[in-house]
Amino acid sequence: MFNLRGMYAPIATPFENDEIAYDRLEENMNFWLNSKLSGFMVMGSNGEFVVMKPEEKKELIRAVCEMSKGKKPVIAGTACESTRDTIELTEFAAKVGADAAIMINPNYYKRALSDEVIKTYYIDVANASPIPVLLYNNPANTGINLSSKLVADLSYHPNIIGIKDAGGNIVQIAEIINNSDPNFVVHAGSANFLYPSYVLGAVGGTCALANILPDECAEIQELVDANKHNEARLLQLRLLEINHSVTARWGISGLKAAMEMLGLFGGIPRRPLLPLSDQDKKLLRDILEKAKKPA
């Protein structure tokens, strides 16, 4: 099994003239490959997977696997609203070298998507997938929460190895750790609650913030491992405001603007998302400046 411990970046997809810019992606990948990141998640929410065509999704997964080959593992986001499309994309990801596949739950027919229906979805996909599968909980985007009971049930499937939980409910994270298969891996899905997740037993994170501050994100876990809890605490508190800006407040538009400011290629998101206004860019720049220096 590849290493799921540590910090993964759910990488942003660079667009130029509204098309995926593979040369820009390679520049970013080089930065990330030389960081403390443990691995990559391609085609997550921050990768704008919902605005990409099926062929684009495949090309992007293939490209990231090639760029990362032999260096760091790649987890491919393969969620489609239908089970069959998810399986097809998961099989493709396996073929081009992804180490694992991760999928957000289907979420359009909210009233019909009972625990039973979602469970069947994940079991169908996990049964068919040639590579290990991770769950992905993101109620702010999906409007559905994967309950700790549902996650614990699925954790015992032999091909389901972990979850990225972006919900931020720390009690739920504790319950998942309490009730799941001991080998089941929990990743905090946001830098907002990395440190409290680690102390409860999470073994990694997959955080938007790792696109721009991979080392700082990785260091929280290093500090916990070294039993330096006060330093971990201070680093966590320092990362809060900037992370709030690049996730809750300005989302992908904020993340991409921050990437530009920090020397990466960011570009702008695909519509309907709109780029940051000049005024918001100024606010963001101030936050980045402040966050870079320890208090």
CA atoms within a 13 Å half-sphere pointing along the CA-CB vector of 243: 21
- Number of H helices and E strands in the chain, helices first, is 12, 10
Measured from the CB atom, the residue of 65 and 93 that comes closer to a second copy is 93
- The distance of closest approach from Cβ of residue 98 to a second copy in the complex, given in angstroms and rounded to an integer, is 21
- The distance of closest approach from Cβ of residue 73 to a second copy in the complex, given in angstroms and rounded to an integer, is 26
Task: Kindly state the greatest CA–CA separation across the chain.
Answer: 50
Are 283 and 277 in contact by the 8 Å Cβ rule? The answer is no
Neighbours of 171 (CB within 10 A): 9
Measured from the CB atom, the residue of 35 and 148 that comes closer to a second copy is 148
Measured from the CB atom, the residue of 14 and 168 that comes closer to a second copy is 168
Residue 47 tokens, joined: 């990768």
Q: What are phi and psi of 222, to 5 degrees?
A: -60, -40
Residues at the interface with a second copy (CB under 8 A): 18, 45, 50-54, 80-85, 106, 108-113, 116-118, 120-121, 124, 140-143, 168-171, 174-175, 177-178, 192-193, 195-196, 199-201, 227, 229, 232-233, 236-237, 240-241, 248, 250-253, 270-274
Measured from the CB atom, the residue of 1 and 240 that comes closer to a second copy is 240
Residue 74 tokens, joined: 């790649």
Residues in the chain: 295
- The distance of closest approach from Cβ of residue 99 to a second copy in the complex, given in angstroms and rounded to an integer, is 25
What is the DSSP-derived secondary structure letter of residue 275?
Answer: P
- The distance of closest approach from Cβ of residue 93 to a second copy in the complex, given in angstroms and rounded to an integer, is 17
Choice among 57, 58, 164, 281 that is catalytic: 164
**CA-CA distance, 17 to 36, in Å (whole number)?**
31
Known catalytic membership, residue 164: yes
Measured from the CB atom, the residue of 1 and 117 that comes closer to a second copy is 117
Beta strands in the chain (DSSP E): 6-10, 15-16, 19-20, 39-42, 74-77, 100-104, 133-137, 160-165, 185-188, 204-206
- The distance of closest approach from Cβ of residue 267 to a second copy in the complex, given in angstroms and rounded to an integer, is 15
Active site residues: 164
